[in-house]
């Protein structure tokens, strides 16, 4: 398990974060459609390869989460995992098969994908994967998330993590409490804390080595329909309160998802979390849209302009790596 702890630390230490490039074909199609680019296998690969071969990969990105399509692809006769590892980053893979309706609570979801997981993991390991990701999703309202949702998803996350460690890889455990809804930030704090505590209860029950995993939670935010947006200062303080009371000290680090925040919001909130962080947890990023969106918009205007697209991606990655060290500022953001 020392090996797994070392891999986890290599992914998230020294300000490095994780590029979440594991969008399903359906999600990537929506992203490409939104900028007027046809979602062909070739176009999806071309954009992702621009990111994977960017200079910021060397100093900012410790790990890349891939989708099943991408881990098997090659670009100019080089396998994608080889391109990523040559940039000094670890290869990860999304292994859940998506959130489905939870039997017994039809407004909630349960993430599936445990059937055949062990066999798939062996294949991904042979393709170069060193870490994995599984996402559970939870909604907030007066009656949600239910105990059924919290226990069912925590159980699935724990079973997944145990199998992943058995297969010599680091599991990213992602319990995402969605920001959709009219709930307050304090309600988000309460529910997120419950969800994370339930996850670790199950992880320990399944004998998962907590020093060999990475937690990927949401930040504590007011619901998107609440009309009560809180300041970045409040986001940071509430998020730290949640994690200090919910996460066992053995966990090496926490890589936040951006969860509907704009690129700059996700950076600013991460920066303040690190300024206030008085724990031993490494606090970094595992962003998808908040790392890629500006680069995607630029690329859509001229798919041949690789250098221009990489410049925009490099800037976003560098800003988040500064934020992961508490060194970002609005002046630095706008100066470059």
Contact assessment for residue 93 and residue 66, using Cβ atoms and an 8 Å cutoff: yes
Residue 206 CB neighbour total at 10 angstroms: 17
**Tokens read off for 18:** 């994780």
Q: Tell me, rounded to whole angstroms, the distance of Cα 173 from its chain centroid.
A: 9
Residues whose CB falls within 8 Å of the CB of residue 307, separated by 6 or more in sequence, listed in order:
none
How far is Cα 251 from Cα 209, in angstroms, rounded to an integer? 9
Q: Name the active-site residue from 216, 229, 297, 307.
A: 216
The question of whether 133 is a catalytic residue gets the answer: no
Residue 295: strand, helix, or coil: helix
**Tokens read off for 22:** 């594991």
Contact assessment for residue 8 and residue 212, using Cβ atoms and an 8 Å cutoff: yes
Pairing of strands 253-256, 282-287: parallel
Contact assessment for residue 7 and residue 90, using Cβ atoms and an 8 Å cutoff: yes
b/e map 235-257, b = 16+ CB within 10 Å: bbbbbbebbeebbeeebbbbbbb
- What count of residues does the chain have? 336
Residue 232: strand, helix, or coil: helix
Q: What is the dihedral of CA 195, 196, 202, 203, to 10 degrees?
A: 150
**Tokens read off for 222:** 């007011």
End-to-end CA distance of the chain: 41
Q: Would you list the DSSP string of 150-163?
A: HHHHHHHHHHHHHH
Residue 223 CB neighbour total at 10 angstroms: 21
Q: Tell me, rounded to whole angstroms, the distance of Cα 161 from its chain centroid.
A: 15
- Give the residue numbers annotated as catalytic, written as ranges: 216
């Amino acid at each position: 398990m020392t090996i797994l702890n070392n891999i986890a630390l290599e992914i998230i230490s020294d300000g490095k974060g994780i590029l979440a490039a594991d969008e399903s074909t359906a999600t990537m199609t929506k992203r490409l459609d939104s900028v007027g680019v046809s979602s062909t296998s070739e176009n999806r690969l071309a954009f992702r390869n621009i990111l994977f071969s960017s200079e910021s990969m060397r100093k900012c990105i410790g790990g890349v989460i891939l989708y099943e399509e991408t881990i098997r692809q090659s670009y100019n006769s080089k396998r994608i995992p080889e391109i990523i590892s040559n940039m000094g980053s670890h290869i990860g893979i999304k292994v859940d098969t998506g959130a489905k309706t939870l039997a017994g609570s039809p407004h909630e979801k349960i993430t599936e994908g445990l059937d055949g997981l062990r066999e798939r993991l062996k294949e991904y390991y042979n393709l170069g994967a060193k870490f994995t990701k599984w996402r559970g999703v939870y909604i907030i309202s007066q009656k949600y998330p239910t105990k059924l949702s919290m226990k069912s998803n925590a159980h699935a996350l724990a079973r997944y993590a145990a199998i992943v460690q058995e297969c010599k890889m680091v599991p990213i455990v992602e319990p995402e409490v969605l920001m959709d809804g009219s709930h307050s930030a304090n309600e988000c704090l309460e529910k997120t804390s419950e969800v994370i505590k339930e996850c670790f209860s199950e992880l320990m029950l399944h004998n998962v080595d907590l020093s060999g995993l990475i937690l990927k939670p949401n930040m504590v935010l007011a619901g998107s329909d609440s009309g009560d947006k809180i300041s970045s200062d409040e986001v940071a303080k509430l998020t730290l309160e949640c994690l200090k009371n919910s996460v066992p000290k053995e966990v090496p680090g926490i890589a936040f998802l951006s969860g509907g925040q704009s690129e700059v919001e996700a950076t600013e909130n991460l920066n303040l979390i690190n300024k206030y962080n008085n724990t031993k947890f490494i606090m970094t990023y595992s962003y998808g849209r908040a790392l890629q969106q500006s680069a995607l918009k630029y690329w859509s205007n001229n798919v041949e302009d690789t250098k221009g697209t990489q410049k925009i991606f490099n800037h976003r990655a560098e800003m988040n790596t500064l934020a992961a060290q508490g060194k970002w500022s609005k002046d630095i953001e706008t100066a470059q």
